[in-house]
Amino acid sequence: MELKGKVAIVTGAGRGIGRETALKLAKAGAKLVLADIMKNTIEEVKNEIEKIGQEALAIQMDVSKWEDARTMVDRIMEGFGRIDILVNNAGISQRGERGVHLKVLDVEDSVWDTIIGVNLKGVFNCSKAVMPFMISQRSGKIVNIGSTAGLTGEFSSAPYCASKAGVLCLTKVLARELGQYNINVNAVAPGLILTEMHANTSSEIIEESQKKTPLGRHGRPVDIARTVLFLVSEDILITGQTIVVDGGKTMH
């Protein structure tokens, strides 16, 4: 899984799964582009990557805006001259009090638009922006971070579940369109990963979920990062697939 000379973009790279994935890819030899709406967090990750001897570029952007995605890619091509890997990780959620499932009747219109905009349109924007360059190279790897909520409709708000279901289907569309150019497109569907997103989730909900997990533990960001690293390795005959990483709680 050597990535020396490859250029990898990770959106939402400032913390959690994005941060861990960026560090994992950098340790495998890739040059990193760290994209996030929060400038300070990606600067911190950039410093970490540079300490291990790899190049990194921090770009503040909003994935829900096409112009931001297009400008990001222009900057990457100016700085690195190629794009080999895109990890569409940026995502947001909304839950009710103490992390419980938010009812449809409680979802405001603006919240729906914001979550769909970041989680689903963001994947569309960034994928569309890199496609011409990967097609020109006739190579590339795209990994979209979905969620088991996109398979089951459980444990989160309607816009989050709908957005992640959309990501999983968009993954298949992209895989069908881009396969002829030697570009693999896959998705990873994490279950409950103990990151900042679950800071307000009650211990009772977390414990109940763990009881239903065959492997007996919830995921960590590194579990997702390892799966991404596998999916961006050179010679995999896998595309259009969703790999569930949740300890066996969701089997499909």
Locate the domains of the chain by residue range.
7-245
How confident is the model at residue 76, as a pLDDT? 98
The closest alpha carbon to 226, from 63, 65, 81, 23, belongs to 23
Residue 181 catalytic?
no
**pLDDT, mean of residues 196-202:** 66
Rounded percentage of the chain residues whose pLDDT exceeds 70? 94
- DSSP structure class, residue 138: T
Q: What is the mean pLDDT of the chain?
A: 93
CA 195 to chain centroid, in Å, comes to 14
Average of per-residue pLDDT across 23-34: 98
Which residue in the block uniquely carries the two structure tokens 């579940």?
161
Per-residue pLDDT tens digits for 95-147: 655 556 778 999 999 999 999 999 999 999 999 999 999 999 999 999 999 99
Residue 198 pLDDT greater than 70, yes or no: no
Q: Which CATH superfamily is domain 7-245 in?
A: NAD(P)-binding Rossmann-like Domain (3.40.50.720)
What percent of the chain is predicted at pLDDT more than 90? 81
199 pLDDT band, cuts 50/70/90, is low
pLDDT digits (tens, 9 = 90+) for 147-181: 999 999 987 799 999 999 999 999 999 999 999 99
Decide the pairing of beta strands 7-11 and 85-88: parallel
* Residue 235: pLDDT band with limits 50, 70, 90: confident
- For residue 205, pLDDT beyond 80: no
Helices (H), 80-182: 109-116, 122-137, 149-152, 158-178
- pLDDT value of position 252: 82
Q: Of 118, 103, 99, 111, which is closest to residue 199 (Cα–Cα)? A: 99
Strand-by-strand arrangement of the 31-36 sheet: 56-60, 31-36, 7-11, 85-88, 140-145, 183-190, 242-245
* Candidate list 22, 122, 160, 189, residue with the active-site label: 160
